[in-house]
Amino acid sequence: MSAAVIPVEQIKTITMSIYRYDPTVDKKPYMQDVVVEIPTDKDIMVLDALHLAKQQEPSLSYRRSCREGVCGSDGMNINGKNGLACVTPLSEVLKRDKITLRPMPGLPVVRDLIVDMKQFFDQLEKVKPYLITKSDSPDIERKQTPEDREELDGLYECILCGCCSTSCPSFWWNPDKFLGPAALLQSWRFIADSRDEATEERLDDLEDAFSLYRCHGIMNCVSVCPKGLNPTEAISNIRNKLLTREKA
């Protein structure tokens, strides 16, 4: 059996303008145009197009793993807007058969489309993204009513791709002091959890000028979240909690 050959009329060429930087060779990053042929009889994802580009430019580097929007590895800036390459249909972002890919803004570039996520995960670590309990463990499990469990919808789904925090101007200017939308969404995820017993301590940790209050409601985070989550609302919930709590 011969390999499938795509008829010529089902192919079109597109130009991918890609941010390139190899620290061992380049002094400065530059944009490189890669022309690739894509099928027209079906829609492919931006990540598929990147694979085609890599066949021509084997040194092209990017992170990817699950290729279905679950692992959160291939967050990047697609035509100016952050998103996951694997779940962004090419047809939605192609403009005159051209697409521009850059690394997520604000974080140091390791190489090409790969950024160093250390600052992002340092901020996540600060909100202690795990259940903290003080009471003795029950025999089987810590139970929750279905209503309490529902409080976590829209919070637990975060895959930590970094699209939101790296689209947030407040995070760009203060990546070490402002926690950023992703970490704050996780903070609210545990404050809102009926089983968590460290709510007061969590709130205390957020009560300074930068950690939480640097959010100015720009809402770029909500615009870009590939999972459709709403960090702005979570931040607002934390603020309300801080305002209404009775201090001991």
Partner 1 sequence: MIEKDNRPVNLNLLTISLPIIGLSSILHRISGLAVFFSFPLVVWLLSVSLKSEESFLVLSNLYQTSVVIKILTYLILVGFSYHLLAGIKKLISDAFGFGETLESGRLLSWLVFGATFVLAILFLFYLF
Which of 44/218 has CB closer to partner 1? 218
Which of 38/188 has CB closer to partner 1? 188
Cβ(3)–Cβ(24) below 8 Å: no
Report CA torsion sign: 143, 147, 148, 154: positive
Which of 38/74 has CB closer to partner 1? 74
**CA pair distance 199, 228, nearest whole angstrom:** 26
Enumerate binding residues for partner 1 (CB under 8 A): 19, 21, 23, 28-29, 77, 79-81, 100, 102-110, 115-116, 167, 169, 172, 216-220, 222-223, 230, 232-233, 236, 239
As measured in angstroms, the least distance from the Cβ of 168 to partner 1 is 9
As measured in angstroms, the least distance from the Cβ of 74 to partner 1 is 15
- With a CB cutoff of 8 Å and minimum separation 6, the contacts of 37 are 11, 12, 13, 52
As measured in angstroms, the least distance from the Cβ of 109 to partner 1 is 5
**CA pair distance 52, 39, nearest whole angstrom:** 11
Which of 47/215 has CB closer to partner 1? 215
- Do the bridges between strand 98-102 and strand 75-78 make them parallel or antiparallel, or are there none, so unpaired? antiparallel
**CA pair distance 230, 214, nearest whole angstrom:** 17
As measured in angstroms, the least distance from the Cβ of 102 to partner 1 is 5
Which of 119/186 has CB closer to partner 1? 119
As measured in angstroms, the least distance from the Cβ of 175 to partner 1 is 10
* CA dist 223 → 86, 170, 174, 218 (Å): 18, 15, 20, 10
Residue at 86: amino acid letter: C
Nearest to 77 by CA among 102, 112, 97, 110: 102
As measured in angstroms, the least distance from the Cβ of 167 to partner 1 is 8
Which of 38/171 has CB closer to partner 1? 171
